[in-house]
Structure 1
């Protein structure tokens, strides 16, 4: 009897962790709709990132930055995390729409400099309302190792403040430009309650792969595409064009695209 109950509980845990890839919001949005005047949501601002509502099923390995399951079972489908850097510039909202249509989740990492434009603020709000997680990618994309501690604070805390003004909460994840973290930035992001999130591989920055076909082919056939892949992509035209085929190709290979809401956070 007890074994049967335990088995049912185990199945429920697996279903809650990996059966639903759709972002939290089930609302239907269009990018055009994001440009309309928004009513105030009345959300209270918080000094911390959004609290973890989903059950924590995964963690980011602090050394390899691969995604790891928190449970011990090894006989499940391989998993992958999608991430989009340099948002919201010109293509992030379109990428979000395509991912949402495919019920695929991702983290969108924000460069604060883009939030100076109202249209980009609307794009970020749209992405968040679709249910996607938001990350911090610094204000101006500088190498943190070349900056003083004060400048690092401005680069990191400035994004948190700018994002909070738009969506009512601070980013839950942090990615340093060039993957270049410092001891000071590590302490600061821990204090800010964010998860340090570099990547395991990505190709859309390389000129050789800046077309739909080339980027899709290398992403799906990379030797670095393994269970726990943390895939780096950017707010770029060719990524926008390739994203649907990349998602479909990953699923054809048996991958589950995880919801970052289920990643363990401080």
Structure 2
């Protein structure tokens, strides 16, 4: 199949899913059950055999209905006891997320790949990385990506006082608003470590807690093919994938995205961003 035909096919998939999102029932975010904040499941390592069509894994989830650029939602979200791990609604939707940036060495390459395939993603940024990279957040806004709050300095929030937690989150909200143009509606705790104070303060600042379903473990630098295999093996409707665009050498993450993104699209997945629904 010629390159222009592939691009046409992808644009058709995106347009069709968008039409379903506009006509369908309003999507909602699904939470997990249990007394503790659930740990996202790590997929099995190893490369997937090439040229095999992707099939939904054990994650039989439903994706979020509704697509489009970020929008402001009035009102404060509920105080949750666990982070959101997946999106729910209609269609074969997946969400790609990138933590710890922006980093001028790797983030532009990730944005270039997303732009090539007309795909939007979520970037959970650290506030201390933003002041010298405001142009990257401006580009994220221009290209329809969602920017979330990943604290100012990436600390373990469960070891901080309420005042320190608020400072980490609020300072990052402020700097995101300056560079991105909107205050963040989503936040993610570093290391996936949440507690009641974190949920309360996040809600007070107007943010929902989003974790992940599939962890690529790309920060361990396991090899490009291994990262690709983890994404492909975990691919299923509603999945939220965790990767990184900063915090170390992320060249493997950049190369992996170039490999798995077109395969996901050719397998019928719509890779996009969630939209918060007003209660």
- TM (norm. structure 2) is 0.68
1:111 aligns with 2:126: yes
Instruction: State the superposition RMSD in angstroms.
Output: 3.2
Q: Secondary structure in 2 aligned to 1:217?
A: helix
Gaps of 5+ in 1: 1-8, 25-48, 54-59, 70-75
- Show structure 2 runs of 5+ residues with no match: 1-18, 28-62, 75-79
1:213 maps to 225
Distance 1:61 1:79 in 2: 25
1:12-51 residue pairs with structure 2 within 5 A? 13-14=23-24, 24=69, 50-51=71-72
TM-score by length of structure 1 reads: 0.71
2:241 corresponding residue in structure 1: 231
Q: CA deviation at 1:206?
A: 5.0
Give the direction of change, closer, same or farther, for the CA distance of 1:23–1:246 in structure 2 (3 Å limit): farther
Aligned-pair distance for 1:12? 5.5
Note closer, same or farther for the CA distance 1:232–1:61 as it changes in structure 2 (3 Å cut). Answer: farther
Distance in 2 separating the partners of 1:216 and 1:230? 15
CA distance in 1: counterparts of 2:67 and 2:203, whole angstroms: 28
Using the TM superposition, give the Cα deviation of residue 263 of structure 1 relative to its aligned residue in structure 2, in angstroms.
Answer: 3.5
Equivalent residue number for residue 185 of structure 1: 198
Deviations 1:17-68 (A, max 9, x none): 89x99964xxxxxxxxxxxxxxxxxxxxxxxx95149xxxxxx995661111
| Matched residue, 1:66 | 86
Q: Deviations over 1:127-174 (max 9, x none)?
A: 222111110000111110011111101111010011112122211110
State how far apart, in whole Å, the 2-side matches of 1:196 and 1:203 are: 19
Task: Tell me which residue corresponds to 2:262.
Answer: 248
Q: Which SS does the other structure have where 1:142 is aligned?
A: coil
Aligned twin of 1:94:
109
User: Matched residue of 2:229: which SS?
Assistant: helix
1-structure distance, mates of 2:259, 2:71: 31
Over 3 Å counting, the alpha-carbon distance change for 1:14 and 1:246 in structure 2 is farther
CA contact 1:115–1:121 (8 Å) conserved in 2: yes
Change in Cα spacing, 1:182 to 1:252, as seen in structure 2 (3 Å) is: same
The alignment covers a number of residue pairs equal to 215
CA contact (8 A) 1:50 1:170 kept: no
Q: Could you tell me which residue of structure 1 aligns to residue 93 of structure 2?
A: 79
Q: Name the SS of the counterpart of 1:135 in structure 2.
A: strand
